Amino acid sequence: MPDRPIRRTGLVFCCNVLAVAALGIGAPLLAADVDSTPASPLAVTGPRPKPVEPRSAEAINGSIRRGIDFLLAQQNENGSFGSPFPARTSDVYAPVPGAHHAFRAAVTAMCISALIETGGGEAEVGKAIDRAEAWLFEHLPHVRRATPMAMYNTWAHAYAIQALVRMLRRRPDDKPRCEKIRRLIEHQVEMLNRYECVDGGWAYYDMNALTKKPSGPSMSSTTATVLVALKEAKRIGIDVSQRLIDRATASIRRQRNPDFSYAYGEYLKYQPRRPINRPAGSLGRSQACNVAMRLWGDETVTDAVLSTWLDRLFARNLWLEMGRKRPIPHESWFQVAGYFFYYGHYYAALCIEQLPVEQRGPHLDHLAHLLLRLQQKDGCWWDFPLYNYHREYGTALALMSLGRCRKAPGEVGTGAGR
C-alpha cells in the first residue's frame, strides 16, 4: 500500500485506515506492469478489444426498464435514495452525521439524473423524481464538510450540479422554479470554490494541515468529476471562475503520465510506476480525466487519445472486474478498488459522446455488452459495499451509461456533449 492511505475515486470512499492496517491487507505489487504500452502524447497506442455482438435496442431498453424499476422500489419515503444502514463492521470511514448527509445528497442527485435521462417521461417515474427533487431542495443547502479531514461533500456538490441542470431542463417554463434551481447551482459552485485545495483541484480528505482552505493534496478523479459538473453549469450561463478552472486543470496535468494514465493524487505524482498509477490502475480514472480535460479545451486529449483509452478499458477490463465487489478498497491487482468500476464506465460513456458519430459504434457495443451482462437479478448494478448506498449509485451510473447506448446516430446526449 502507499505510504499514506489511498484515497477514493468516484463517489465512494476510502476504507477505515486503521481497520485495513489491523487486517494486514495490502494490494498486490507487481514487479512488472504487463498492461503498460510505452507511448508519447503524440502517438498514444494500446490494446484493442475483440469485437462483440451488438445488443439490440430491445435488450438495452429492457435492461434500463429493470434498472428504473429497481430505483423506484428503493426510494425512501422522504424521497431520498440510500441510507447508512446496515453498516459492515469494517465499513468506510464516515463521521456522523456530516458524512452521511453528503453520501445521501450525492446518491439522490445521481438517481435524479438517471431517472430524468432514462425514464423522465413516464408518470410513475415523474412522481419519483418530484419527491427526490423536493428532498434535494430542502437538504442540499445544508451539506457541509463533515470534519476537518473528511470532505465527502465535494462529491455531493458536483453530482448535485448535474442533477440540478437536468431539473432545470425538465420544466423550463416554470420561471420561479428555474430561478430557485439556478440559485442552488450557484451555491454549489460557491461551495466548490470554498473547498478547492490550496494547490488547485479538489479532494475528499485533508490529511495534511486540516486547514479551512483544504491543504490537499488534490485527487485527479475528484477534480475531474467536479470539472465535468462545472462545465455543465457554465453551459447554462452560471458564472464559473476561470481561475478555478485553470488551477484545477493544471493539477490534473501535473498528474498525467505521457500515456494518459493519471496518478491517483498529487501525493503520488512523483511515483508514476506505483501500481495504482499505471495504465491498469488508471483504467477508470483516465476516462474521467480525459473527458474533463477535453471539455475544458485541452487539445492534447484528441479523438485518438479518447479512442485508445476506451479500447484499453474494454480490452483490459479484467483489471477493473477483479476489484468489483471486493469489500476492502485497493486490495485487488494494481490497487484497483471496486468503486472504480461503474464510475469509470459512466465517464467512458461521456468520452464516447466526444467522438465523431461514425467512431462511436464499437465503443457503445462494448459498453452495452458489458453492462447488460452485469445487471443483477433484481435489476440493480453495484460494485462496492457501502452502507446502503452502493446499489443506488451503481444503478444510477449504469443507467446513465446505458441510456447513451440507445441514442440514435448523431443525437447529442444530455451529459457532457460535444
pLDDT for residue 13: 39
Distance CA 147, CA 95 (A): 7
Cβ atoms within 10 Å, residue 27: 22
- Condensed to tens digits (0 to 9), the pLDDT of residues 371-409 reads 999 999 999 999 999 999 999 999 999 999 999 998 555
Residue found under cell 485527487: 219
Mean pLDDT for all residues in the chain = 89
Residue 410 has pLDDT above 90, yes or no: no
pTM score of the predicted model: 0.89
pLDDT for residue 73: 98
Residue 243 has pLDDT above 90, yes or no: yes
> Do residues 330 and 27 touch, judged by C-beta distance below 8 A?
yes
pLDDT for residue 33: 43
Torsion, Cα 103 106 108 109, to 10 degrees, reads 170
pLDDT for residue 117: 97
Indicate the pLDDT class of residue 294, thresholds 50, 70 and 90.
very high
Residue 102 has pLDDT above 50, yes or no: yes
Closest CA to 289 of 236, 252, 329, 328: 252
Cβ atoms within 10 Å, residue 163: 31
> Do residues 170 and 129 touch, judged by C-beta distance below 8 A?
yes
- Condensed to tens digits (0 to 9), the pLDDT of residues 172-195 reads 999 999 999 999 999 999 999 999
C-alpha neighbours within 13 Å on the C-beta side of residue 171: 15
Lowest pLDDT segment from 31-45, 87-101, 273-287: 31-45
Distance CA 277, CA 269 (A): 8
Residue 276 has pLDDT above 50, yes or no: yes
- 382 contact partners, CB below 8 Å, separation of at least 6: 325, 342, 376, 390, 391, 394, 395
Judged by DSSP in three states, 205 sits in strand
Average pLDDT (5-33) is 38
Which cell is 233 given?
A: 453549469
Indicate the pLDDT class of residue 216, thresholds 50, 70 and 90.
confident
CB-based burial, 383-397: b 16+ in 10 Å, e otherwise:
bbbbbbbbbbbbbbb
Indicate the pLDDT class of residue 16, thresholds 50, 70 and 90.
very low
* R_g of the chain computed on alpha carbons: 20
Number of helices and strands (H, E) in the chain? 14, 0
Residue 27 has pLDDT above 70, yes or no: no
Domain boundaries, the chain: 17-405
Which cell is 63 given?
A: 435492461
> Do residues 178 and 165 touch, judged by C-beta distance below 8 A?
no
Read off φ and ψ for residue 388, nearest 5 degrees: -125, 45
Read off φ and ψ for residue 265, nearest 5 degrees: -160, 170
Indicate the pLDDT class of residue 40, thresholds 50, 70 and 90.
very low
Indicate the pLDDT class of residue 415, thresholds 50, 70 and 90.
very low
pLDDT for residue 406: 86
pLDDT for residue 408: 54
Q: Which residue has the higher pLDDT, 111 or 13?
A: 111
Which cell is 193 given?
A: 470554490
Distance CA 229, CA 168 (A): 14
Which cell is 21 given?
A: 492496517
pLDDT for residue 30: 40
Q: Which residues on neighbouring strands pair with residue 43, listed in sequence order?
A: 40
Residue found under cell 426510494: 75
pLDDT for residue 407: 57
Closest CA to 294 of 246, 247, 354, 254: 354
Residue 10 has pLDDT above 70, yes or no: no
Judged by DSSP in three states, 89 sits in coil
17-405: CATH topology: Glycosyltransferase (1.50.10)
pLDDT for residue 109: 98
Residue 217 has pLDDT above 80, yes or no: yes
pLDDT for residue 364: 97
pLDDT for residue 44: 62
- Condensed to tens digits (0 to 9), the pLDDT of residues 305-361 reads 999 999 999 999 999 999 999 999 999 999 999 999 999 999 999 999 999 999 999
Residue 413 has pLDDT above 80, yes or no: no
> Do residues 249 and 296 touch, judged by C-beta distance below 8 A?
yes
> Do residues 134 and 108 touch, judged by C-beta distance below 8 A?
no
